[in-house]
Structure 1
Amino acid sequence: MLMRDDKQADFAYQAVYRYMINLINEVGTEGRVKLPSLRHLAERLNVSISTIQYAYSLLEKEGRVYSVAKSGYYALPIAGSTACCTTGDLLERLYVGARRPGMLVLSADEPAQLLSLDAPLLQLERELVRQYPRQLQPYSQPCGIWELRAALAARYTRSPTRCWQADDVYIGADLRGVLAILIEVLALKGAAVLVESPCDWLILRLLQDAGVRVIEWPCNEQGRLDPGYLEQQLRTEGVQLALLSSTPGLATGNALSVADQAQVAGLLEQYDCWLLENDTHGGLAFEACTRYLRDLVNPERLMVFSSFEKAMGPEAPYGYLLSRHLSTPLQRQFLLRAFRLSSIRQRAIARLYHSGRFDQHLDDLRIVLKEHAAAMQARLAQHLGERVTYRAPQAGATFWLRSTEAVDMRRVFQNMLARQVVIAPGELFSVTGLYQQHFRLSHAVSTHHSLDLVLEELAQALKQGQHG
């Protein structure tokens, strides 16, 4: 099967994706099944390792596969009853439920599902293919092509002292791969890393697998992060790195105030703590943000990571890192990972930045997200009423809800799976067992399901899940 010789207007990763779907669907047992390694599949299908990783990342986001540290990727058969999957790792059960046909996945955080740039991106790519015939297309540089790295550097530059160069930008096949490299280069095993909490489960799992000592900075009752708690942890726990969001928190949708940002920046400077800023939701605040934490901290102790996918859509899954330090080990690790990314697609993304089309898209996406959040808020009031409490999100595609009654949230999760609906239990967003009464719901859904009926079923599941 020589995909590189395929003359159809299809992309290699799409062919790999379809091949993997067929392979997964052939699974006939009830146990988990190990899938071929990245290198094995690359050799079998005659494509680059990054193409295989790209396809695997799409499958993982869809819940069709999941990864196990130092072991590889696994798939579970679709056959069988969802309700029977009641044991094992909770995240694994969520992935299994999400990949089944006919499921309404309300656990996801996919803002671009409402408005993506997939079509414009592919149109630009076709135009670029004509300008750059295949024989003239160089292999991508290990850290990404210069045009896209320069575009990102310019976008994050705010002043002569807070500036980035193209050589400070590193682009990988997906966010997981980029973060794995960063954790390895920083040698974080055994180190104390403070993360805002609730925190994305991908980040938590990567840190745990690397042996990092994760210290959570939980939101208070008002849904905000208390700088006083940060100071206590910095003073007593020897925190070397703080991993914080650039915009309103991933799960809660609430932001640090300007005063709190200044206080946090001062504390990080006082205790010589590095900031690793999570900018994956950058630009998705309903009201455009003009001041970020990275603009206040010491630029000599700052790194930023993000991806294109949250804002652009699944056709732009690449992750990237901005770092003015550790250039030699970072370049070496990116070279060893062999991220042979499509130079044409990277150029297409760069043109979206240069033309201003991406900024216009962000403006449009923020409006749509805000409208969907308002519509979901009305539905929550109508169907869940006093069963949940929450603070209206200021950004993103999700609501962070808390049950007003003590419930077994795992039971609620399982009952909703039986109704073909996937929610995200709050405990997935913590490493210390926090948020047992919380769950996350997406409002960025375009579906044939009746959300009103689904929320009525959720209200019933919360009632059935009450303790005692």
Structure 2
Amino acid sequence: MNLRGERQADFAYQAVYRYMISLINEISLQTPVKLPSLRQLSARLNVSISTIQYAYSLLEKEGRIYSVAKSGYFAWPVAANSQVMAGADLLERLYAAARRPGMVVLSGDEPALLGSLDGDLLTLERQLVRKYPHQLQPWTQPCGVWELRAALAARYTSSPTRCWQADEVYIGADLRGVLEILIDALGLKGTVVVTESPCDYLVLRLLQTAGVRVIELPWLADGSFDLTTFEHLLHHESVHLVLLSSVISMPSGAALSVPERLQVAHLLDQYGCWLLEDDTFGELSYTPSQAALRNLVNPERLIVFSSFEKVLGPEAPFGYLLSHQIGSELQRQFLLRSFRLSSIRQRAIARLYQSGRFDQHLQTLRQHLQEQAQAMSLRLEARMAGRVSYRMPVAGASFWLESVAPVDMRLVFQSMLTQQVIIAPGELFSLSGLHHQHMRVSHTFTGHPNLDITLDTLAHALLQSQTG
């Protein structure tokens, strides 16, 4: 099967990406292998270091490679067959499967597959290169170029009392990088962090690796927030930080009501807790939504994180943070990390914001996502009626499905792998064994007849994996 999203142009990073896939497939599949450095590949392929970095970022995001500080990039060993990976960590198995050729990756949530701004970015970049020749492109801006930081500060400012300055914005190579810096800057090791659940597995794994005690607070079955349990945790646990989404919580699609938002803000202030707001999907609601949670809480105990990639596409992999406090520590950590980011690419993104092109694109993308979600819903009703239940998505590019009958979702996952299809079992979005009856599936594939066959296969796998 081949359900890959179609792209209208072939960019340099895609050629590098294909070259790296071929290179990885040629090397040993049993042990990790060190890959060429950014500089080595840049010289070998006669492309810019930033282009190599974007391709590597995409490969790392797909789980094909990983980076080691001061050592470079390495290719993960790929199991010779699915049985070898049967006892491995579920996330490792998902990553390993995604590296195998011919797999249908139905597990992601990549809105920009329905329309990215790659072409606009590269056009702007060519214009800016003429204005800023290579010798005038500074690499010594470890927190990001001023133009983009200022554009983000302006976008996040909502009132004279809820305003941001450019020097309170910090831009890194990708979302993982800026979150790792944040964890170090806040000194979260050994502290208690409350997260909404389900929660993005990248965030969960980073907190777990850092030695943070994570307490998960599941959304209730009706999509409401468990304020009673939340207040109990704040009262009885030494909670240092609370992680919540700005508007829509993904992948569940749940959202705080206005009274819930006000009560959450009151409790955070009462107990003196920091709010870490996940704004990754904050601008991807299909219709106008409520004000972000950050506009209600104490701004001195607020940190916001997000990235450009979900909206702009893989040519804009940068992640970013906003914080009024801990500025000196964040600057120190960014200096230590020494991100070498393309100043031209950042300036091009800033121009998209300043010109209004970003907002035009965002409006079109939201419309396409909503239309695609409605089409996918019709497919689910036709192909999987009686097998799954769900709430209609209101943001993002995926469905959060729950099996109607009790099933072993790991068996479903394994069964789909044999059909060269990858789903994301719900337990990936928890550290404490929640969401075993759920899965995340993408709805960003358009015009592919094989999607109906895939959903039929998934319905059969659910039937065959029932436990009761």
TM-score by length of 1: 0.91
Residue 286 (structure 2) aligns with? 286
Residue 266 (structure 2) aligns with? 266
| Maintained 8 Å contact 2:400/2:438 | yes
1:91 aligns with 2:87: no
Residue 34 (structure 2) aligns with? 35
How far apart, in 2, do the equivalents of 1:83 and 1:452 lie? Answer: 27
DSSP-derived class of the 1:59 partner: helix
Aligned-residue offset at 1:51: 7.0
How far apart, in 1, do the equivalents of 2:181 and 2:446 lie? Answer: 35
Which 5+ residue runs of structure 2 have no aligned equivalent? 1-9
Superposition CA RMSD, Å: 2.4
How far apart, in 2, do the equivalents of 1:266 and 1:260 lie? Answer: 10
1:225 aligns with 2:215: no
Q: Decide whether aligned partners of structure 1 residues 74 and 134 sit closer, same or farther in structure 2, where only a CA change above 3 A counts.
A: closer
Q: Decide whether aligned partners of structure 1 residues 270 and 70 sit closer, same or farther in structure 2, where only a CA change above 3 A counts.
A: farther
1:56 aligns with 2:56: yes
After superposition, what is the alpha-carbon deviation per residue over 1:103-123, rounded to whole angstroms, capped at 9, x for unaligned? Answer: 111100101111111111111
Residue 113 (structure 1) aligns with? 113
User: One-letter code of the match for 2:37?
Assistant: L
Which 5+ residue runs of structure 1 have no aligned equivalent? 1-8
| Maintained 8 Å contact 1:66/1:95 | no
1:200 aligns with 2:196: no
How far apart, in 1, do the equivalents of 2:18 and 2:383 lie? Answer: 39
| Maintained 8 Å contact 1:118/1:315 | yes
Residue 442 (structure 1) aligns with? 442
How far apart, in 1, do the equivalents of 2:49 and 2:123 lie? Answer: 25
Aligned-residue offset at 1:383: 1.0
Residue 5 (structure 1) aligns with? none
TM-score by length of 2: 0.91
Residue 137 (structure 2) aligns with? 137
Aligned residues: 455
Residue 335 (structure 1) aligns with? 335
Aligned-residue offset at 1:159: 1.2
DSSP-derived class of the 2:261 partner: helix
Aligned-residue offset at 1:127: 1.2
Residue 368 (structure 2) aligns with? 368
Aligned-residue offset at 1:10: 7.9
| Maintained 8 Å contact 2:38/2:53 | no
Q: Decide whether aligned partners of structure 1 residues 346 and 71 sit closer, same or farther in structure 2, where only a CA change above 3 A counts.
A: closer
How far apart, in 2, do the equivalents of 1:272 and 1:84 lie? Answer: 48
Aligned-residue offset at 1:82: 4.3
Identity percentage of aligned residues: 64
Q: Decide whether aligned partners of structure 1 residues 406 and 358 sit closer, same or farther in structure 2, where only a CA change above 3 A counts.
A: same
Q: Decide whether aligned partners of structure 1 residues 390 and 373 sit closer, same or farther in structure 2, where only a CA change above 3 A counts.
A: same
How far apart, in 2, do the equivalents of 1:256 and 1:53 lie? Answer: 37
Q: Decide whether aligned partners of structure 1 residues 202 and 70 sit closer, same or farther in structure 2, where only a CA change above 3 A counts.
A: farther
Aligned-residue offset at 1:32: 4.0
Q: Decide whether aligned partners of structure 1 residues 398 and 15 sit closer, same or farther in structure 2, where only a CA change above 3 A counts.
A: closer
Residue 275 (structure 2) aligns with? 275
Residue 125 (structure 2) aligns with? 125
| Maintained 8 Å contact 2:174/2:318 | yes
- The more displaced of 130-139 and 19-28 is 19-28
| Maintained 8 Å contact 2:244/2:276 | yes
Q: Decide whether aligned partners of structure 1 residues 72 and 87 sit closer, same or farther in structure 2, where only a CA change above 3 A counts.
A: farther
After superposition, what is the alpha-carbon deviation per residue over 1:388-433, rounded to whole angstroms, capped at 9, x for unaligned? Answer: 1111111111111111111111110011011111100000000000
| Maintained 8 Å contact 1:284/1:366 | yes
DSSP-derived class of the 1:386 partner: coil
How far apart, in 2, do the equivalents of 1:227 and 1:51 lie? Answer: 46
How far apart, in 2, do the equivalents of 1:34 and 1:227 lie? Answer: 48
Q: Decide whether aligned partners of structure 1 residues 116 and 287 sit closer, same or farther in structure 2, where only a CA change above 3 A counts.
A: same
| Maintained 8 Å contact 1:308/1:318 | yes
After superposition, what is the alpha-carbon deviation per residue over 1:88-117, rounded to whole angstroms, capped at 9, x for unaligned? Answer: 111011011122222111100101111111
After superposition, what is the alpha-carbon deviation per residue over 1:95-154, rounded to whole angstroms, capped at 9, x for unaligned? Answer: 111222221111001011111111111111111112222222222511000000000000
How far apart, in 2, do the equivalents of 1:235 and 1:154 lie? Answer: 36
User: One-letter code of the match for 2:34?
Assistant: L
| Maintained 8 Å contact 1:254/1:395 | no
Aligned-residue offset at 1:21: 2.9
DSSP-derived class of the 1:385 partner: coil
Aligned-residue offset at 1:268: 0.5
Residue 397 (structure 1) aligns with? 397
Q: Decide whether aligned partners of structure 1 residues 377 and 43 sit closer, same or farther in structure 2, where only a CA change above 3 A counts.
A: closer
| Maintained 8 Å contact 1:194/1:214 | yes
DSSP-derived class of the 2:386 partner: helix
| Maintained 8 Å contact 2:37/2:72 | no
User: One-letter code of the match for 2:285?
Assistant: A
Residue 7 (structure 2) aligns with? none
| Maintained 8 Å contact 2:195/2:217 | yes
DSSP-derived class of the 1:400 partner: strand
| Maintained 8 Å contact 1:83/1:418 | no
How far apart, in 2, do the equivalents of 1:229 and 1:74 lie? Answer: 43
Residue 385 (structure 1) aligns with? 385
Please give the residue correspondences for 1:150-229 in structure 2 after superposition, counting only pairs within 5 Å: 150-229=150-229
User: One-letter code of the match for 1:104?
Assistant: V
How far apart, in 2, do the equivalents of 1:50 and 1:194 lie? Answer: 36
After superposition, what is the alpha-carbon deviation per residue over 1:20-70, rounded to whole angstroms, capped at 9, x for unaligned? Answer: 4343122233x242435xxx8246457899876644321022332256899
After superposition, what is the alpha-carbon deviation per residue over 1:416-468, rounded to whole angstroms, capped at 9, x for unaligned? Answer: 01111110000000000001111111111246452111111000000111125
Residue 302 (structure 1) aligns with? 302
Q: Decide whether aligned partners of structure 1 residues 14 and 459 sit closer, same or farther in structure 2, where only a CA change above 3 A counts.
A: closer
DSSP-derived class of the 2:215 partner: strand
| Maintained 8 Å contact 2:79/2:85 | no
| Maintained 8 Å contact 1:423/1:439 | yes
| Maintained 8 Å contact 2:54/2:315 | no
Q: Decide whether aligned partners of structure 1 residues 237 and 54 sit closer, same or farther in structure 2, where only a CA change above 3 A counts.
A: farther
Q: Decide whether aligned partners of structure 1 residues 283 and 10 sit closer, same or farther in structure 2, where only a CA change above 3 A counts.
A: closer
Q: Decide whether aligned partners of structure 1 residues 209 and 447 sit closer, same or farther in structure 2, where only a CA change above 3 A counts.
A: farther
| Maintained 8 Å contact 2:265/2:296 | yes
- The more displaced of 348-357 and 390-399 is 390-399
